[in-house]
Amino acid sequence: MSQWLTSQGFGHAVLPADHLGVEVIGVEPVFLPVIATALKAWGFDYLQCQGGYDEGPGGNLVSFYHLVKLAALADRAGATQHLPADVKPEEVRLKVFLPRDGDLTIPSLYGLFRGADWQERETFDMYGIQFEGHPHPKRLLMPEDWKGYPLRKDYVQPDFYEMQDAY
């Protein structure tokens, strides 16, 4: 995929493959929607997973996207709707690295993949990465007035949190 993206003029970083050998591509936040759209047009029609992680105190916050070619598998299965067990879908991973002390805003992929809705909200809720253009950008797991982002490695848990609507 990296070669194809380069041939199409899309700037990106080639990262080491993941533990399954799936290609991983580093993307600048501003180019994420363009590259994701190009990959979708190339057949990566399913957002399998979107999430985030923290590289550690002082490190980057990362938003990742796992894209899969599902329509191609359906075409191969044909009328039988069965594929041999050794047939795996083609996959690619995208990663957006954000300096923790910088701008933590990246474009939402909700308009391209509706499945990004709750996944982006969870990533915001746990890491503080904001998704510009998301139609419902509010906390999903934590109360609206919660301070901080619990899955960051530098998060300090409050000693006490009063449930205001507990009664």
Among the residues of 27-166, which ranges form H helices? Answer: 32-41, 71-77, 116-127
The structural domains of the chain, with segments of one domain joined by +, span 2-132
Q: What is the pLDDT of residues 7-44, one digit of tens each?
A: 777 778 888 899 989 999 999 999 999 999 999 999 99
- pTM summary value: 0.84
* Terminal Cα-to-Cα distance of the chain (whole angstroms): 54
User: Which DSSP letter does residue 81 get?
Assistant: T
Which element (helix H / strand E) includes 61?
Answer: strand 60-68
Q: How many CB atoms lie within 10 A of CB 83?
A: 14
Q: In Å, how far from its chain's centre is CA 90?
A: 17
| CA–CA distance, 119 with 3 (Å, rounded to integer) | 29
Q: What is the pLDDT of residues 49-107, one digit of tens each?
A: 999 999 998 899 999 999 999 876 666 655 556 666 667 789 999 999 999 999 999 99
Topology of the domain covering 2-132: Beta Polymerase; domain 2 (3.30.460)
